Chain A
């Protein structure tokens, strides 16, 4: 058993989960800030960004060291590659939260408008995707990650509906155009967060199953023949 290597992997996992917690919190705060028109939460999101950025650097450094020093194989190699990609996605989730917070800070200076779009419902769906993608990572369960992939379609539909509804609102009620535009851009930010959650779920599936499910490509079934050369597994 490679104890030091295992400790390194455990450390990587702990750091990524901490970063996941920060990114998830940033999205939740930004969404709540939109709902409550709360500037305090917006500032918390902006202040938290540097923490997420330094966590990203630390995780990349540790992953790089483990790759260079321990030459991981198989499931360990897949784990480290998945962590580096999830790390990058979480950092982007943090960026999207910052975008939402900045949009809310502009928005609160405008009169409140009653818009026919349920951003709160979309935010709840997106938060759930981020949370479940991280749960699938914690549990190392591809089934949980698969469920996240299916949720992405729901969020895409919400984004499309928000687009149609808000464009119509801009045409019908020019006085709330800026507010509608803010809501539209926030819906787009949320949809991007959902895309990052989807990427995380795909990386978990890659780590657990060794299957690349990106871009809806079905993984090949394990070969029974190797280009005509017979390989045989002997059962003990």
Chain B
């Protein structure tokens, strides 16, 4: 099993407050890895450090090494270049409201200067198929706006938009927390299929979701990685008492 993202001694701060402490974690390639932990433990900061979104917050900074394949995230590449290779899906679906479904998916490619219309059509279709939305929107691709879709469809549209730029890695920060169980089920099924082709990191508060979709799980507490192991191990026989106390609901 290859390493999709190699994180070494990652530290992150908001001003003087240290949010992450010495995180070292090899995220396996072509698998889903869940990041769990109580609110404020650094889960979202961690994933936002992987694509250098963290540094967009005023006074925020990070140190350490993050590698994705040959790419050294914090050394030698611009943040914009890095983010082009890493898709990100947020808690609340955020399609471009004035754009059509088609333009939402094509937005990233067009921004990168991609102009081949036939190829663009193919990529939009492929991305919407990958995100299991194609059948629901194929007849209204250019007529309907992204904002006209339901919450679950909007989230899958955002996933299609992220996939269109053909990233190696897909980061998902609580992608289902605003969705109903049916839409959540569709996204989870999607994650299950996408990990064949992408390395997925998913932040979730929902431990059942982590256990359903991820092969690996990391437990964060107070900005530190307490335990990282196969998901079935974390949820049946965790090694650390703090992990056990958290997942059994004894704190957090």
Contact = CB atoms under 8 A, between A and B. Distances in A.
B239 A228 contact: no
Contacts of B237: 74, 78, 210
Nearest to A1: B250
B248 A226 contact: no
Interface string A217-228: 000001100111
A234 B233 CA distance: 17
B248 A76 contact: yes
Contact of A230 (B26, B207, B239): B26
Interface residues of B, number: 36
Interface stretch (B59-67, B168-176, B178-186, B222-230): B222-230
Given A73-B247, A233-B227, A222 B208 contact: no
B235 A71 contact: no
A72 B225 contact: no
A231 B226 contact: no
Contacts of B21: 234
Interface residues of A, number: 24
Interface in B194-252: 207-208, 211, 216, 221-222, 224-230, 233, 235-240, 243-244, 247-251
B28 interface: yes
Interface in A102-160: none
Q: Which of A75, A223, A228: most chain B Cβ within 10 A?
A: A75
A74 B244 contact: yes
A5 B243 CA distance: 18
B208 A78 contact: no
B191 to A, nearest CB: 19
A5 B22 contact: no
Contacts of A73: 207, 211, 235-236, 247-248
Given A74-B248, A230-B26, A236 B222 contact: yes
A72 B248 contact: yes
B224 A234 contact: yes
B239 to A, nearest CB: 6
A226 B236 contact: no
B109 interface: no
Contact of B239 (A72, A76, A233): A233
A233 B229 CA distance: 9
Contacts of B1: 227-229
A207 B224 CA distance: 28
Contacts of B25: 231-232
Nearest to A5: B249
Contacts of B28: 226, 229
A75 B248 contact: yes
A228 to B, nearest CB: 6
B157 to A, nearest CB: 30
Interface in B81-135: none
A222 B240 CA distance: 12
Contact of A236 (B207, B226, B230, B235): B226
Contact of A234 (B3, B207, B211, B226): B226
B24 interface: yes
Given A72-B248, A229-B1, A77 B227 contact: no
Interface of B: 1, 3, 21-26, 28, 207-208, 211, 216, 221-222, 224-230, 233, 235-240, 243-244, 247-251
22 contacts: A71-B207, A72-B248, A73-B211, A73-B247, A73-B248, A74-B238, A75-B244, A77-B236, A210-B236, A222-B239, A229-B1, A229-B3, A229-B28, A231-B26, A231-B228, A231-B229, A232-B24, A233-B226, A233-B239, A234-B21, A234-B22, A234-B24
Given A2-B249, A74-B248, 12 more contacts: A1-B250, A72-B248, A74-B236, A78-B237, A210-B237, A223-B233, A226-B28, A226-B229, A226-B230, A231-B228, A233-B239, A233-B240
